[in-house]
Amino acid sequence: MKRNMIKSIAVKLVLTLVLIIGINMISKADEIRLVVKEDLASCTGVAPMTCMQVKYKTSKNWELFYSQISGFKYKPGYRYVLLVNRTKRTNVPADASAYEYKLKRVVKKVRMKQNTTTAWDFVLKHKWKLIQMNGVTQSESPVYMTFDGEKKRVGGKSGCNSFFGGFKKSDDTLTFNQMAGTMMACGPELNKLEHEFLTLIGDKTFRYDVADQTLNLYQGNKLVLMFGMAPLK
């Protein structure tokens, strides 16, 4: 009988301790308001990736958000206002966020109006095959690239290998960044083509335009690369 009483008291003490710890953890959570932008942006964590763009109460500009929000399902094209519980983490792993975020409530979800069709919208819809490089016509070139506007990623074939990376676009400029590729062995001609192409676009900024179904990349006034439109499939 006495042993059962002691066991019962011990169980109650453990439950009380768990409850106190839980209350303390909840009390450390801050409620914050986040505005989430309707499109993602290229960012770099442990590796190149895409991040949400957010504004806090004191933000003047959009800021990259490297964490995840538990319970929140993001959909591009919508701007959100969220109430989020933010909790300070202990024993934070390297390259991890100092906070954990949990959705409390979606205050507002608004579908943003799409801009009228632009030249860049046209670029996103097609595959672009290389037809000229440094003034030299490329007959039947295997080189092509496509752009993912939501993820801000570019990829394609650089010869016999595949390449991929990120890009940033302003009104009339296009910057390639964090370019990488596969490393299959190629013949001498493809090796030369591949090396020249990847050297030209690697971490470079170009002025671009679209004319007569060609995508043209310039450095200064020099036309460096010309691509012809091709179906995505």
**How confident is the model over 97-122, as a mean pLDDT?**
86
Domain boundaries, position 162: 119-230
Q: Max Cα separation, the chain?
A: 96
Gap between the Cα atoms of 159 and 143, Å rounded? 5
Model pTM?
0.51
DSSP tag of 209: E
**How confident is the model over 137-159, as a mean pLDDT?**
93
Are 141 and 163 contained in the same domain?
yes
Q: Is residue 41 in some structural domain?
A: yes
Are 73 and 132 contained in the same domain?
no
Are 202 and 142 contained in the same domain?
yes
Look up residue 104 and give its amino acid.
K
Q: For position 27, what pLDDT does the model report?
A: 44
Summarize pLDDT for 169-203 with one digit per residue, the tens. 988 899 999 999 998 988 999 999 999 999 999 99
Q: For position 118, what pLDDT does the model report?
A: 79
pLDDT surpassing 70 at residue 12? no
The token duo for 171 is 């009104």
The token duo for 17 is 């301790």
Q: How many domains does the chain have?
A: 2
CATH number of residue 154's parent domain: 2.40.128.270
Is 220 strand, coil or helix? coil
**CA torsion, points 68, 70, 76, 79, in degrees to nearest 10?**
-100
Integer CA distances (angstroms), 126 to 9, 35, 133, in order: 71, 32, 19
Q: Which of 46-50, 74-78, 144-148, 152-156 has the lowest mean pLDDT?
A: 46-50
Question: CA triplet 154, 157, 159: central angle to 5 degrees?
Answer: 145
pLDDT averaged over the chain? 85
**How confident is the model over 123-139, as a mean pLDDT?**
92
Q: For position 98, what pLDDT does the model report?
A: 84
Residue at which a domain ends, from 111, 142, 166: 111
Are 76 and 44 contained in the same domain?
yes
In contact, 70 and 80? CB cutoff 8 Å:
no
